[in-house]
Chains A and B, each alone.
Chain A
Amino acid sequence: MFSLAKLIKPALGLLAGFTMMAAATTLAAADETRVVFVTHGQSGDPYWSVVKNGMDDAAKTLGVKAEYLAPETFDMAKMGQMIDAIAASKPDGMVVSIPDAAALTTPVKNAVAAGIPVIVIDSGGSKLTHDLGGLLFMGQDEFQAGVMAGERIKALGLTKAVCANHEVGNSSLDDRCAGFAKGLGVDVPVMNGVIDPTEMKNRVIAYMTAHADTQFILAVGASGAEPTLAALDEMGLSGKVKTGTFDLSPTILQAVVAGKMEWGIDAQQYAMGYIPVAMFDLWKKYKIMPIADYPTGPGFVTKDTAASVIELSKQGKR
């Protein structure tokens, strides 16, 4: 006869085994360094994806437990709650981005007050980081990077430019556009774009038709740059109207190699994921922490250097 007990016994055995294994890992975890990232960028974003890859690689190499969290949407209240929750779980180190100082000041201060070391990456800046009691700031000053981009275009003698923003309302992208205008020294209109590549491409075509005297298009991310390249291709303007972008992707790098794009600006955000993990590991083990901020970008990838970066970009390291 079919016996239920025969089935249940091994199942119970398995269950017991799992419980013991789980207990063992909890024990092992006690002296393992635990670092938690709470950022405003989902790992689905091509830029933050590289940050997370840096974090994962460091965690694997160093034997550190690292976690990555971000709110579903650009929701600062939710992000504040996440910081509070993580602080309560007492990690050995917390890495945060601060895109909105007003909303995140209190949670970050509370975490610092609770004795959790905090490193700020990507957005927030040096002054705010130290005001809040953070250890150091790592990232690219978006406005300053925009200024440097604008100065390069000014040096080429171009004056009519447009900033193709595929995500208006994202303050770091707005900073890139504003910095660019400052560096170029003239007003630069912002073209409202979208994430959808077909619509973005066609908006660039529409804009260029209505403003045919435009000499340079600044894209502020890979999701804006690739459709911009396609639009110029379709209009027969490749290479005639110059373009450059923030952030990298294999397609962008190929365009730079082919001379269709002036440069791609690399925030080298892989370091923002990798280095804090290593720093907190050293901090936990030996109480060692660098004493100065760490600017990771902007690194301009031009025709001379692009080819060597393509393979790394495909692997999600650049």
Chain B
Amino acid sequence: MVSEIRDERVRSVSRLSRLLSRPELGAAAGTVLVFVFFAITAGNTGLFSAKGIVNFLEVSAQLGILAAPVALLMIAGEFDLSVGSMIGFAGILIAIPAVFWGWPIWLSLLFTFAICGGIGALNGLAVVRTGLPSFIVTLGSLFMLRGLTLGLTRGISGRTQVSGVHELAQNDPLNSLFSGQVLSGPIAWLANLGLIGKRADGMPAISGIPVSIVWWIVLTLACTWLLTRSRFGNWIFAAGGEANAARNLGVPVARTKITLFVMTALAAALFAAIQVLVTGSADTLRGTQKEFEAIIAVVIGGTLLTGGYGSAVGAMFGALIFGVVQMGIFYTGIDTDWFKLFMGAMMVIAVLFNSYVRNRAMRSR
């Protein structure tokens, strides 16, 4: 009877200690800490009203869309510093064909995703082929893409902002996919019950949930599935842990990394698509420093800067912490000159708490 023979290679681990050793545990604890802090300092100022919640979730969602694939890439041991510039570039690629060449929005969107994916693949190829640190290669792309964006935009439009996308996108089949709202029905029902709060003109404070929040959750779930439930996920961990050993075991390290660079580039394009269609304009400076913020969110979420360990759900919590801290400060009524001091301190405290909880959990195993 096979089932009665205990396999000596498999150790049985209790459900609790498995939960405690998850990388996102600390980030979840940090999130709770941040929420408790704001519940005390800004509890009844509107931060936790329906409008306030949507307000910080929208900021978190933006960052979270980037953070999920960036987490995967960092687990595989690479950085992508070009995502911020890619956002600016993608925004312009969407807006210019639509506004100046009369393309339908859906076509400029497809065009943009194709070009950005291609550039992501080039980033990946350059890293894999040259063996240079991705930090340097994508730093190069950061500057090149920003320069390309500015040169193209000024060359074609004479300005640095391209507006007028709203009017063109109104009846486009893909518009609501990026700029729409979901759950309008249930929200209206809740509003009727008086649970939503009212705007100054008597309308309900929110009429739906921005679709970017749905993208955020779906992307995080998809990346989590990929990381923990698929063969590709094992490759990611292996490539980030020890690339040579992984290669010797037959893991296609190069292909894995190139795919991940394509994914981060596509996430940047998605970010741009949402922002351009929601605001109705593109600007050459969009996405500035987002590469930095995405890495912060991923690291707050428990992923190691050295690769080999981390999670997409952690990145989601990291983005949530970032969004809540950013917006929460405005509700507390603190003079906003102190904003960055405060934000930096909150970040460090959240991460300290994160690693404290994780260390405790690891030791107790």
Contacts and interface: CB of A to CB of B under 8 A. Distances in A.
Contacts of A81: none
A223 interface: yes
Interface in A199-231: 199, 202-203, 205-207, 209-211, 222-223, 226-227, 230
B163 A235 contact: no
Interface stretch (A28-36, A84-92, A94-102, A188-196): A188-196
Contact of A206 (B52, B163, B202, B279): B52
A196 B272 CA distance: 11
Interface in B155-213: 157-161, 163-164, 199-203
B335 interface: yes
Contact of A205 (B55, B150, B340): B55
A172 B290 CA distance: 25
**In the complex, which of the residues A191, A196, A199 has the most CB atoms of chain B within 10 Å of its own CB atom?**
A196
A192 B337 contact: yes
A207 B330 contact: yes
Q: Is the interface of A mostly helix, strand, loop or mixed?
A: helix
A222 B279 CA distance: 13
Given A189-B335, A249-B163, A44 B199 contact: no
B359 interface: no
B330 A43 contact: no
A237 interface: yes
B150 A43 contact: yes
Interface in A13-51: 42-46, 49-50
B285 A195 contact: yes
A157 interface: no
Contacts of B159: 46, 49-50, 314-316
A37 to B, nearest CB: 15
A190 B58 contact: no
20 contacts: A44-B146, A44-B284, A45-B160, A49-B154, A49-B158, A50-B159, A52-B154, A190-B337, A191-B336, A197-B275, A198-B58, A198-B278, A202-B56, A206-B47, A207-B330, A210-B330, A211-B333, A235-B51, A236-B200, A314-B159
Given A209-B49, A210-B45, 9 more contacts: A192-B340, A198-B59, A198-B279, A210-B330, A226-B279, A240-B201, A314-B159, A315-B159, A316-B159
